[in-house]
Structure 1
Amino acid sequence: MSQPTVRYVHDWGASGIRHPLEAPPSHNQQPGRNPLPWHSLQFNPLGVFDLRRLQGIFGHNPSIWNTYRHRFEAGDIAWLASGASEDNCHEPEDNGFFPEFKACRDSLPNTSAGYSSRMDFQKATKKIIWDLATMLDRTFGSTTMILNVGGTTVPGSPALPEFLRASVYLPPAFLRQHPDSHPAIAQIAQIFLESVGIPTVVAWKASALRSGWTLTVNGNTIRAFSVPHHLFIPPPVQVGSSHFIFKGRPAGTLHLPTTPTGSRPSSPASATSTRYGSEEPLSTEAIELLAATERIYGLEQEVDSMRELLDRATAEHLSTIQELGQVQAQLNGASICEEGYNEERRQFQQEISSLQTQLSPAIYAPPCYSASLLATPTWRRAGAPSLASPSKASTSTSAAFALPSATQFLEDNGLQYMLVTIRVMVKYAPLTKWYLELAEMDLDEGVADGLLECLTQDSDESDMNPTSTPSQPHARHTTAKPRAPLGPEQKRERKEARESKQERIDTAVSAWFSDTMALADKLAVEFDMKPKYFHELFFQGGARMVTHQEHVNPYNAFKSEKAAECRDCGEAKNAPQLHTDYHEDVSLRRATPRAKIQDVSNIVRNMKLLMCGLSTRVGVEGFFCIVCNSADFHIAPQWFFTSRELEQYMLIATRKKWVTAEVGTKVEAFAVAGCDILNLLRTSKQKADYLKVGIREGLTEKLIDITGDPKAQMAYVWYEEDVVLKHGVILVGWTFPEIVNPTELSTSLPNLQKLYDAIKNDTCKFVKLTGEERAKRMSDWKADVAAGRIEQKTRATRVDKGKKRGRKEPVDTATDDAGGARPAKCRRITAKIAPAAAGSGAIIEEPEDDEGPVEARPAAKRASRAKNGTKTTATARTAVSTAPMRATASKHPAAGAPALAKRSKAQGQGARNDEDGNSNTGNGEGKGKLVTRPKPQPAYKSKDLITSEDECDADPDADEDGNVPADGSAASAGAEFDAALAQVSSSPV
């Protein structure tokens, strides 16, 4: 059995301390250096190991890891298994196994080490389940029973209950306190093995066969479990443990004691069980008998486990022996090959010796050939030229290696005797070693360089590869021998040669590039196209040739076939449309509430970090609020302010009570309601008004979008002139019979909702008219106007047309006086404060000395309107009562004079009398116009602050409604006002 690999995990928080972790066996000799990411961890030994590597092992305090190592490992397994019972993935694959089963098997090698690792992982998982059940019973006072049966059995055993066993968790305290429940528990375990265990084993074997596994059967005899009939509860696996192994019995052989009701016949009651609630103690002999029985049963279990271990060890030894036999066979084959190679080498050495003997003693032969060059020609095959015919060999050699240039050079320099040596060198030495071989022949440097140049020329002119000559066998592929180091002079020469060659290449490429760019410009001018088009053809056209794919993708072939089928049926769909249809039918896994909470928490944390970083780098402040918009998922509103002062400022900004939690709750309710303001409105009138506003704004927005004019407005009365003819668009999809102002539409919610939805869904929209359509509508409109069927848009006539209007600028009395003209007579106006309606200010009564007709006076008009039921509307803000102003000026002359002068100027611009005594308010509505002013509402309810203009002008003697008591104070205040006004007029500016 191979030992597990030991990896060293370094905790970054430690000071260089490393702790070993036993890594599970892997398919590779060296497992991955880095662990898998968090989202890729799976429920298998490798996943547990990588999870611990990601978490670290407390390098700063090794004692914690060493002390609680088993607890940390149990926590890692529980971390990987968390949420599995609620992930809605409880259906196996087509082969009958779950994906986790395949992942666990694939992550470990199919060896004894991998099998042991899987078994250890299974035992650790069961132990965690037993531990959790134990703590559940201890903490909450419950009683738990867990049964587990595996799908694998001893090879060759039938699927019968007597060959199965179940791992069961039971509280030992419950078994000790309730011995009368032992038969029932044994019956539950037996029924579980018969009803659940047998189908599990059968299904596992069928799934294994579907997966293509070979279920081997050994030749050993499989014995069924032997369980005493009177033993209902087996001893625990370990002393003090809550884990029990219930072995199956043959069907129908479990004899239960007589029940209190006597409904089930069985054998006489066993001595180990008594009637429920009976306090009769067991005898000493019965207790000893039970102890002996349990001991025997425990020994039988140990024997069974040892037998299983023996079978497993035997199988491992047999596999090891088989592997050793294979290795021995490989060694024998290697020995045979080595003998063949040695024999071939001896033949080559004999051939070399014969060639050396044939050479004349007078011919110079350098010693390097006899020692190194000609010693081991390992690339030759058997079948060398026969040594009995040296003339034939020399003839073939001469024919194969004709060196005309080198031969002529040797003859010119008187070195004919070296021709055979040169031919041998050319035949056996590689081209890269010719320079070294010539250097060892004691030749002059110039002669050696000239001879090397001639040999190089001969090698270029004729193919001198020995493998291509008819007299030489095929060369064997061998590893090239290392080259001899080059000298400084050789390196310099080669460097200069490379630089010169590269310079020529660059020059040629530059010339080609210039010609290509010039040709692209020429073609662009000739074909009236952009040069970029030809650049792509020249420079990127080859990429399509290189990356041309001739292999047909099965998925693309499937889409093409489906497209052809749709075309045959009359429905034309291309491949992208089929691809889109395919993805629309793909089902995605719905996120669990826990996953949603984790996702929201992660996003909120990132948003906080981003906003804090932005505030630190740039200097901004802000806040955000996140609420849920569905009742299926609930999370408290998530608020974040970059500073606490910003949250406190919201109390001042809103001018109302600001409670962050309350605002978040309201926003959440609005989001759950669908973020639709219509759902928050109560009355039908409010909903109708909201829909009408949405219709008006939607049409205006669509008109701006289609015309591109940001100032475009939707005209309903003059729709044909201001919309159709002006912008060349027409409204289609209007759900009402006529196009009218939304305020004139009916308040029927279904009809308004229909039009509102049509605008939102682009069913009701503007469409551009063509030139012909626009010209036709223009001609039709002109014809209708000429015929009098429709009225042309005209400008409204002024109500004061033909009447004399007053001056637009105030008269400069000082200039008139200086010119000798008579000053204008000031008409005295007596102001009276009449009771006004709720929400309106003081009403300006007509002057006492008004000589006009009674019907033209404001009071008469008001009475007439009240009689006719007409509502009086305030159109402009005019003069206010002068009595409080005079009273204020008399009490505060310094501060009141400028204010009164300013107010007088405003009154002069807003309302003045013409020469005929008619009152003109400055708004072009004629004389005698009744003017009211709404009473402004103060912004703050503070007694110490003056927050409105009415409070500045209020008379201290007036009551809450602004009425001045009629005790003569108004007259005195008027006199004081005249004195203050005269003082201001006489004072220099």
Structure 2
Amino acid sequence: MSAVVPRADVTPGPIIFVPVDPTQDKKRKNATLTEDQLTQEGRDALAAALEAVCDFASEKAERLVETYGYEKEYYLRLIFSGGASKMSERRSNPYNAWVHDLAKRYSQGPHTTEVVNLFHLQREHRHEYDALTEQQKHKLVTAYDEDRQLRKLLSPRFEQGDREQDIRQSFKAMQDMFLSLKLRAGCDGFICLVKSDDDLSFPSMWYFTNPEIDRYLSSSITRWDIGRIGELTEKFCMEAGNIMRHLTTNRERAIWFKKEISEKLNSKLAEITGNPKAAMAYKDYDGKVALGHGVILEGWTHEIFAAPSALPMTLEPLRILFDALNSGHCHFRRLTGPELTARQVAYGEKLKNGMVTIRKERSDKGTKRKFYRSDIYTANDDQEEGPSQKRACLEDHPSGFPPDSSSDSSSNSDSSDEW
């Protein structure tokens, strides 16, 4: 009987109140100096030496700015604080690089099943190292450094216990990063960690910097359930993150392709024009896109040029157009001056010949519209309590209209005048 795995493991962050005044550091003890070091001449010499170092670093940073760009403060920060990571790092030497290459070649050769002592292997092939040139040693060191960096990035763990420990430690590190970011910058958020491998068995792991975030989302979003959200996210990641596996029918896939094509076209148009509100037009493409923004669309692969929602539901042409947008084959290009002038002339001829359908303008264009005020109709309802007054019944009147209130009031006024 398999163990029941909980749906979600929630770790709330601590409720921390940041004080207004910054925390004061503890007073450090002064270093014990000799009498010679305490003299004014020694202090002046030290200040001059430090100033020379700062001037050299500033000059070097200015040269780096001219060569590689960025800002001067960026290089100064790397110069003065970037050496801390180099203190614990061991520099590669040619002999270690050669031993690494020798072990790799031996493990990939025909003797992969044999167990050989690496020390004996080094003694047997020592003459190869002695015959290496400086250029060959430099290549071995470069390749060895690349392998070391790759191992640092990947750091594979094949044992089940090691993988689970790596997950716990990494999740703890992410919690510390979020908490420190909250204290330093005043940011809040949450983390959701799910598995993407069948060999692992742990529920979705959640962390909230503020426990009230989960409660607020539960009351504000319908059916907000972190357990259900974690299960769906885990299911999607277990299937290699392929959205097509979740779209079962061709109709659903075609609708998804159309939506993605429309969003990509709008984003590409907004990027080239610099206007985030720019939208693609298809019926009046020449007037609103080519002449309005000065760009044209090149590489359209579909046989029909229309809005993606109006394209046929055939899946393969939509897929080809989607791939063309992703690869950059279908893209927008800015028009040159002569091209823009030629298009303006051609568009003007189409307007004269009636080949372009223009939307009819409103008759009240340029005039202010009156605002509908509903408060004048509800003023009496606010004063009086009870149900609202019903409409007059039209069946009692042969004309089909209620009696005119103005005529009644005039007759009453006439009768009062007679008295």
TM-score normalised by structure 2 residue count: 0.51
Please say if 1:592 is aligned against 2:157: yes
Question: Is 1:711 paired with 2:277?
Answer: yes
Q: Which residue of 2 aligns with 1:795?
A: 359
Distance 2:267 2:372 in 1: 45
Partner of 2:27: none
Match of 1:755 in 2: 321
* Cα pair 1:93 1:99 within 8 Å, conserved: no
Q: What secondary structure, in the 3-state scheme, does the structure 1 residue paired with 2:297 have? A: strand
How far 1:624 sits from its partner (Å)?
0.7
Which aligned pairs between 1:740-889 and structure 2 lie closer than 5 A?
Answer: 740-786=306-352, 788=353, 791-796=355-360
Alpha-carbon contact 1:759-1:765 (below 8 Å) kept: yes
Pairwise CA RMSD: 5.3
Q: 1:777 to 1:646 in 2, by over 3 A?
A: closer
Which of 215, 218, 240 pairs up with 1:648? Answer: 215
Aligned to 1:554: 135
Q: How does 1:148-227 map to 2 (within 5 A)?
A: 210-211=124-125
Given that 2:192 and 2:205 are in contact with CA atoms closer than 8 Å, whether structure 1 keeps it comes out as yes
Displacement after TM superposition at 1:666 (Å): 1.2
Partner of 2:16 in structure 1? Answer: none
**Pair 1:692-2:258 in alignment:** yes
Question: Separation in 1 of the partners of 2:183 and 2:243?
Answer: 37
Cα 1:693–1:211 shift into 2, 3 Å: closer
**What is the Cα deviation at residue 741 of structure 1?**
1.2
Check the 8 A contact 1:92/1:99 in 2, yes or no.
Answer: no
Q: Distance in 1 between matches of 2:116 and 2:364?
A: 92
Q: Determine the structure 2 residue equivalent to 1:611.
A: 178
Matches within 5 A, 1:158-307: 210-211=124-125
Aligned to 2:14: none
Q: Distance in 1 between matches of 2:88 and 2:136?
A: 32
2: CA distance, partners of 1:39 / 1:810 = 74
* Partner secondary structure for residue 292 of structure 2: helix
Q: Deviations over 1:149-170 (max 9, x none)?
A: xxxxxxxxxxxxxxxxxxxxxx
Q: SS of the residue aligned with 1:655? A: coil
What are the Cα deviations for residues 582-607 of structure 1, in whole angstroms up to 9, with x where unaligned? x89x9978823335444332221111
Distance 1:646 1:607 in 2: 18
1:717/1:740 contact within 8 Å kept: yes
Structure 1 segments, 4+ long, off by >6 Å, are 37-40, 92-100, 586-590
User: Following the alignment from structure 1 to structure 2, what is the Cα–Cα distance between the partners of residues 677 and 780?
Assistant: 44
Letter in 1 for 2:135: P
- For 2:241 and 2:110, locate their aligned partners in 1 and report how far apart those are by CA, in whole Å: 45
How far has the Cα of 1:791 moved from its partner?
2.1
Residue 89 of structure 1 and its aligned partner are, at CA, apart by 12
Contact 1:698 1:759 in 2 (8 A): yes
Query: In structure 1, how many angstroms separate the alpha carbons of the residues matched to 2:342 and 2:372?
Result: 55
Distance 1:91 1:733, change over 3 A: same
Return the offset for 1:768. Answer: 1.7
Same amino acid, percent of matched pairs: 25
SS in 2 for 1:792: coil
Q: Structure 2 vs 1, CA of residues 721 and 618 (structure 1 numbering), >3 Å: closer, same or farther?
A: closer
Contact 1:593/1:633 (<8 A) preserved: no
Letter in 1 for 2:355: E
Deviation at 1:626, TM superposition (A): 1.2
Q: How does 1:341-380 map to 2 (within 5 A)?
A: none
Q: Deviations over 1:293-314 (max 9, x none)?
A: xxxxxxxxxxxxxxxxxxxxxx
The separation in 2 between residues aligned to 1:797 and 1:656, in whole angstroms, is 46
Change (3 A) 1:647 1:808: closer
Alignment of 1:389-400 (within 5 A): none
User: SS of the residue aligned with 2:384?
Assistant: helix
Instruction: Report the Cα distance in structure 1 between the residues aligned to 2:331 and 2:122, rounded to whole angstroms.
Output: 64
Checking the alignment, whether the CA contact within 8 Å between 1:731 and 1:765 is kept in structure 2 is: yes
The 2-side partners of 1:705 and 1:809 are apart by 38
In structure 1, how many angstroms separate the alpha carbons of the residues matched to 2:279 and 2:259? 14
Paired positions, count: 277
SS in 2 for 1:713: coil
Q: 2:205 aligns with which of 628, 631, 638?
A: 638
What is the SS of the residue equivalent to 2:291?
Answer: helix
Q: Contact 2:300–2:321 at 8 Å: present in 1 too? A: yes
Task: Please give the per-residue CA displacement for 1:565-587, whole angstroms capped at 9, x wherever unaligned.
Answer: xxxxxxxxxxxxxx99xx89x99
Alpha-carbon distance between aligned partners in 2 of 1:704 and 1:743, rounded to the nearest angstrom: 20
Task: Please give the alpha-carbon distance, in whole angstroms, between the structure 2 residues aligned to 1:650 and 1:210.
Answer: 68
Instruction: Give the match's secondary structure for 1:681.
Output: coil
Q: Is the 8 A contact 2:304 2:311 kept in 1?
A: no
Q: Which residue of 1 aligns with 2:227?
A: 661
Displacement of 1:665: 1.5
Secondary structure of residue in 2 paired with 1:723? helix
Between the aligned partners of 1:657 and 1:208, the Cα distance in structure 2 is 62
Q: CA deviation at 1:625?
A: 0.6
Q: Does 1:721 align with 2:278?
A: no
Structure 2: tracts of 5 or more residues without a match:
1-86, 91-103, 128-132, 396-401, 406-419
Distance in 2, matches of 1:809 and 1:92, equals 82
Judged with a 3 Å threshold, the aligned counterparts in structure 2 of structure 1 residues 799 and 599 are, in CA distance, closer, same or farther, namely: same
Taking a change above 3 Å as real, the CA distance of residues 644 and 728 of structure 1, as seen in their structure-2 partners, is: closer
How far apart are 1:740 and its partner, in Å? 0.8
Shift of 1:636: 3.5
Alpha-carbon deviation of 1:676?
Answer: 4.8
1:678·1:690 contact (CA, 8 Å) conserved in 2?
no
Question: AA paired with 1:210?
Answer: E
Please give the residue correspondences for 1:484-523 in structure 2 after superposition, counting only pairs within 5 Å.
none
Determine if the alignment matches structure 1 residue 625 to structure 2 residue 192. Answer: yes
Residues in 1 aligned to 2:200 and 2:351: alpha-carbon distance in whole angstroms: 63
In 1, Cα distance between the equivalents of 2:180 and 2:364? Answer: 66
CA–CA distance in structure 1, aligned partners of residues 150 and 180 of structure 2: 39
Secondary structure of 1:774's aligned partner: helix
Name the TM-score, length of structure 1 as normaliser.
0.24
Q: Partner amino acid for 2:286?
A: E
Contact in 2 for aligned 1:629/1:671 (Cα 8 Å): yes
1:737-765 CA-partner distances (Å, limit 9, x unpaired) = 23211121001122222212221222211
Which one-letter code corresponds to 2:157 in the other structure?
A: T
CA distance in 1, matches of 2:239, 2:344: 48
Deviations 1:634-665 (A, max 9, x none): 6542211234443333321323252x333212
How far residue 209 of structure 1 moved from its aligned partner, in angstroms, is: 7.5
Verify the 8 A CA contact 1:623 1:639 in the aligned structure 2: yes
- For residues 916-971 of structure 1, the C-alpha deviation after alignment (integer angstroms, 9 at most, x for no partner) is xxxxxxxxxxxxxxxxxxxxxxxxxxxxxxxxxxxxxxx9xxxxxxxx9x9x9xxx
- What is aligned with 2:63? none
1:894 alignment counterpart: 384
The answer on whether the counterparts of 2:218 and 2:224 sit within 8 Å (CA) in structure 1 is: yes
